[in-house]
Amino acid sequence: MMYRDLMMTAAVLGCIATGASAETLRYATARDVYGLDPHAVTDSFTNIFTHHIYEPLVRYDADMTVEPALATSWEVIEPARVRFTLREGVTFHGGETFDAADVQVSLMRAVDPKSPLRGNLPGLKAVEIVDDLTVDLVLEGPAPLLNNYLTNIFILDSGWLEEHGATTPIDASQGEEGYTTNNANGTGPFRLESRRPDALNVLVVNEDWWDTPQHNLTRIEHSPIGSDATRVAALLSGEIDLIEPAPLQDAARIEAAEGVRMLENPGLRSIMMGINMGDSLVDGDVEGNPLKDLRVRQALYHAINMDLIRDRIMRGKSRVTGSLIAPQVTGYSEAMDERLPYDPEKARALLAEAGYPDGFAFNLNCPNDRYVNDEAICQAMAAMMAQAGFKPRLLAEPRQIHFQKVDNREVDVFMLGWATLPMLDGFSVLSAMLATPEGEYGTFTPAGYANPRVDELTRGVAVELDPEKRLSMMQEALMLAHEDVAWLPLHQQPLSWAVRDSVEIPQAADDLVRLWYARIQN
């Protein structure tokens, strides 16, 4: 009798346990977030992960259009002043009420001169509190992309920040840590239960969320798994429900396996090679810098067979491009998408014409843990360049070293990916990658590249409010860059996730995993 009771209890408990665990989503990525402080790093993976906990004033919906979040409406009352009405009755996970002071403290924290995120919200001068639920954003001038910028700036509780001495921002890329690195208190659909850096992040559902959840998750367990093969093995064995990225070389294996499937779509992130056009090469064997010569840059372009790289290394899943932005991004035109064709003979001829019949040595700098198959692409390109007469020296290095070198212009031909996030607008390419470096402009512009017309257009686009005019100015600037071979575009990398069949999740073109749209079917 007692035995039967026990069995019954066990059976009932078992049911409850399975019921609950069915809505736990176990999620694996190639690496961990750089901490949970949403203002500490510009890394888009970290930002989207913290977006589960924190929220911005306005957000992207599943179709990438801006919709209200913590602000319910907004209005441009002067060209340089925008008034936001805040949502009433929102509380933070710790129980604090959301109000205008939180917006003021959070936005000013994000644009603090010390904050690495300041470039993501340019032109904000001050936040003025009108009343508890109304704020004015005071800007330096008209800002056509203000709302796009704001989708990526999350709101923290002012009292909580003060209590833990975290009002000053930290810079996670410099290794700085603070209370906000491992603790979080937001208004979002999930709250942080626990975090063990590089091992496990656990989020649980926020029952008091102001919005109606579209997801049905109760718990998210996120673990970084660095090795491609191990990540796939974890998915196939049922330990993990969602992996991102799913290695392209294993797509066929995953498709063939029972109970799991690939999620694939064309992505927004354009991969390209920057070209040092400064006065000297970092590691050359000739006087001066041959790459300053347009013919040499064109030779480099003709030397690369992107179709073959797409077929072999990207398993036919990348979109070969001549443009620096994806077709979905504002500013794209078909004219700029024309590639110089693969033609090693022409490359050799151009090289000889420029006075380097025997080629010359230069560094080919690549990350080996940042983009889809980055190192493999660079190895293949190095071989192709060598076959066309160049002498590239391949340096495939971890992201920290690679991007530090890019920042310091200690690179000759270097790989960079750009998704124009969070604005989804070609202006981000103009301002960050083509304009002559000055102030907030030209963070990634290759050394020595300066085209006065591009600079003029960039500054024009920044303040132009008429969409038609703005678009044609952007297209003109991008065409100039195309003709100058300022960058050597490669492809748009594919989105490649893999999920258990029970998981439903929309895959937005920006490659960001938004689990508040995920559902688990039983």
> Which residues here bind other proteins, judged by CB under 8 A?
227-229, 232-233, 236, 247, 249-250, 252-253, 305, 308-309, 312-313, 375-376, 379-380, 382-384, 386-387, 392, 394-397, 401
Rounded Cα gap, residues 399 and 507, in angstroms: 25
Q: Each residue of 174-185: b (16+ CB within 10 Å) or e?
A: eebebebbbebb
Could you tell me the smallest distance in angstroms from the CB atom of residue 347 to other proteins? Answer: 13
Q: How far is the CB of 152 from other proteins (least distance, A)?
A: 31
What are the residues whose beta carbons fall under 8 Å from the beta carbon of 275, sequence distance 6 or more?
A: 291, 297, 300, 412, 413, 446, 485, 486, 487, 488
- Hey, what are 78's tokens? 């002067």
Q: Which of 122/494 has CB closer to other proteins? A: 494
Q: Is 277 helix (H, G, I), strand (E, B) or coil?
A: coil
Which residue, 396 or 421, has its beta carbon nearer to other proteins? 396
**Backbone dihedral region of 45: left (phi > 0), alpha (psi from -120 to 50 degrees) or beta?**
alpha
Beta strand 24-29 with 242-244 is: parallel
Q: What's the Cα-to-Cα distance from 420 to each of 116, 149, 342, 369, 428, rounded to whole Å?
A: 17, 11, 27, 20, 6
Q: Which is nearer to other proteins, 194 or 387 (CB)?
A: 387
Closest to other proteins by CB, 20 or 252? 252
Q: Helix (H, G, I), strand (E, B), or coil: what is residue 261? A: strand
Nearer to other proteins, 246 or 512 (CB): 246
Instruction: Give the pair of three-digit tokens for residue 392.
Output: 């590239």
Q: Which is nearer to other proteins, 138 or 257 (CB)?
A: 257
Smaller CB separation from other proteins, 76 or 394: 394
Minimum distance between the CB of residue 390 and other proteins, rounded to whole angstroms? 9
Spatial distance between the Cα atoms of 501 and 303, rounded to a whole number of angstroms: 42
CB of 253 to other proteins, least distance (A): 5
d(Cα 412, Cα 273) in Å, to the nearest integer? 10
Q: What share of the chain is helix, strand, coil (3-state, %, to 5)?
A: 35, 25, 40
Residue type, 163: E
CB nearer other proteins, residue 475 or residue 493: 493
CB of 383 to other proteins, least distance (A): 4
Residue placing its CB nearer to other proteins in the complex, 177 or 228: 228
3 state DSSP class of 494: strand
Q: Which one, 143 or 388, has the nearer CB to other proteins?
A: 388
Contacts of 223 (CB under 8 A, 6+ apart): 26, 27, 28, 199, 200, 201, 240
Phi/psi class of residue 401: alpha, beta or left (left: φ > 0; alpha: ψ in -120 to 50)?
Answer: alpha
How far apart are CB 395 and other proteins at their closest, in Å? Answer: 7
Question: Which sign, positive or negative, has the C-alpha torsion 111, 434, 58, 221?
Answer: negative
